[in-house]
């Protein structure tokens, strides 16, 4: 039986984490675990952790560590026989330490994208809140302006994607992520990638994972994105 492989991806809002995560999942057969999906599923299913999450989300507050770990760790325990890639968890040192007590990660990818690039991407970003589908007016626009492709429900632009809020979000991300990045650096599993285009960063990530997992990627379907 092949050795199980556990990885996480970190990066600020607009860094292309979702796009890269999907490519990794497709190319290397890792299960893609997005904390955003788990949050939405928990809220929709009205689980105890989901209702706790909802109470914070509705107030526009960050979900605290003890609630996030209560939501995520049972899901990860159910996937003990799978290889996976985590996106959006762990966000904080507390979450990273809780995860560490359950699993030792093999690899953590950190994306370093310049502020100007993030600002351009996020100012073009529109979201369908119920599903979490994200559109970008420059490279992934909806078929009908302002409408979700699947449900035709209206798209919204997050207030915190607007330039004045973005600086504060990025500052917060850096403050919170730094101890997590330092932890994984000290464990020797952190790999950082810098650039302004996802398609130019991807070959390096692809090569790293091929080496780490000792396999040739099964297929390299790529969609062009900046």
Known binding residues for AMP are: 35, 40, 61-63, 88-91, 95, 169
CA distance 17 to 125: 14
Listed residue (126, 103, 115) closest to 174, CA to CA: 115
CA distance 171 to 147: 31
Asked whether 226 and 139 are in contact (CB, 8 A), the reply is yes
Q: At which residue do the structure tokens 């090569």 appear? A: 207
Please report, in range form, the residues annotated as the binding site for GTP.
14-19, 125, 134-135, 198
Asked whether 27 and 220 are in contact (CB, 8 A), the reply is yes
Please report, in range form, the residues annotated as the binding site.
14-19, 35, 40, 61-63, 88-91, 95, 125, 134-135, 169, 198
Asked whether 43 and 57 are in contact (CB, 8 A), the reply is yes
């Amino acid at each position: 039986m092949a050795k199980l492989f556990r990885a996480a991806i970190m990066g600020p809002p607009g860094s292309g984490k979702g796009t890269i995560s999907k490519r990794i999942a497709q190319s290397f057969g890792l299960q893609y675990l997005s904390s955003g999906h788990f949050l939405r599923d928990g809220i929709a299913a009205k689980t105890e952790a989901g209702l706790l999450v909802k109470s914070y989300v509705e107030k526009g507050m960050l979900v605290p560590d003890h609630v996030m770990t209560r939501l995520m760790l049972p899901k990860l325990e159910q996937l003990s026989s799978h290889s996976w890639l985590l996106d959006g968890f762990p966000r904080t040192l507390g979450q990273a330490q809780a995860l560490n007590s359950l699993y030792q990660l093999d690899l953590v990818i950190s994306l370093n994208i310049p502020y100007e690039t993030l600002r351009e991407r996020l100012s073009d970003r529109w979201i369908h809140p119920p599903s979490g589908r994200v559109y970008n007016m420059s490279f992934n626009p909806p078929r009908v302006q302002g409408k979700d492709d699947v449900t035709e429900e209206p798209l919204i632009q997050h207030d915190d994607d607007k330039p004045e809020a973005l600086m504060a979000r990025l500052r917060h991300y850096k403050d919170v992520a730094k101890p997590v990045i330092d932890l994984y650096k000290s464990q020797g599993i952190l790999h950082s990638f810098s650039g302004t285009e996802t398609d130019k960063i991807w070959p390096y990530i692809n090569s790293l994972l091929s080496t780490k997992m000792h396999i040739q990627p099964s297929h390299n379907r790529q969609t062009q994105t900046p």
